[in-house]
Amino acid sequence: MAGYPHPIIAREGWPYLVATLVAAVALTALAGWWSLPLWLLALFVLQFFRDPARPVPAGPGLVLSPADGRVIAVERVRDPYADREALKISVFMNVFNVHSNRAPVDGRVERVTYFPGKFLNADLDKASEHNERNALLIRAGDGSLVGCVQVAGLVARRILCYVGPGDALERGQRFGFIRFGSRVDVYLPPAAQVRVGIGEKVHATTSILAQLPAAAGGATHG
């Protein structure tokens, strides 16, 4: 997985793109401009599955956004995946965002757990508890435990995750994909230093959500 070259159009979208293009070309030959809706659909599929390369910010303890979208929650919660008090930062992806998911921290995957569930609007708070989701627990290099949860949405019907327990991840490394609208919840130690606010637009890999407590403390005293 580490060597996956990130084509401009995500491999998950290739079958959809080919199918819509073939259908659009065929209908154009048969019905001319009546094929326009299919060409628009092909354009939508093209933009949905784009997967651009991203530069990775350098710095100790940085927690990067695992997804493109808008921050919809920054709150203290009980982390249901690690049974601890935690800081949760949620990023909502609409159908026009890039849906490739990237690792928020350097670390090793301790656990991956899939939960079947509903397909409520991912913008709702209860989506974190009731929707279909896939939870990764990552042990960062400094020992901090970071949860990264892929949550399906109203239209999303497919969560893809390409890592398992024991796999090493680097910040910004692609680990999964969610098709057609969703959210990602990040669970951090309560003392993590938040770098974003509710409503802020973020981009996978390039946007910094927070800084882990040990690194933040070191920066303060350094």
Tokens 């819509």 belong to which residue? 20
Q: Does the annotation count 182 as an active-site position?
A: yes
Q: What average pLDDT does this structure show over 165-178?
A: 92
* 87 shares its domain with 35: no
* 171 shares its domain with 117: yes
Confidence of residue 214 (pLDDT cuts 50, 70, 90): confident
20-56, pLDDT tens digit by residue?
899 989 989 888 888 898 999 888 888 778 888 888 9
Q: What average pLDDT does this structure show over 121-142?
A: 76
* 19 shares its domain with 68: no
Q: For residues 95-122, b (16+ Cβ closer than 10 Å) or e, as one string?
A: bebbbbbbbbbbbebeebeebeeebbeb
Separation of CA 14 from chain center: 19
Residue 7 in this model has a pLDDT that exceeds 90: no
**By residue range, what is the domain housing residue 133?**
62-213
50-76, pLDDT tens digit by residue?
888 888 998 999 999 999 999 999 999
CATH value at residue 206: 2.70.70.10
* 92 shares its domain with 181: yes
* 102 shares its domain with 173: yes
Q: What is the pLDDT of residue 126?
A: 59
* 72 shares its domain with 21: no
Q: Taking the model in full, what pTM does it have?
A: 0.82
197 lies in a domain? yes
**Which of 99 and 127 is assigned the larger pLDDT?**
99
Choose the catalytic residue: 90, 100, 182, 207.
182
Average pLDDT taken over every residue of the chain: 85
* 41 shares its domain with 100: no
Confidence of residue 181 (pLDDT cuts 50, 70, 90): low
Report the C-alpha dihedral over residues 105, 107, 113, 117, rounded to 10 degrees: 0
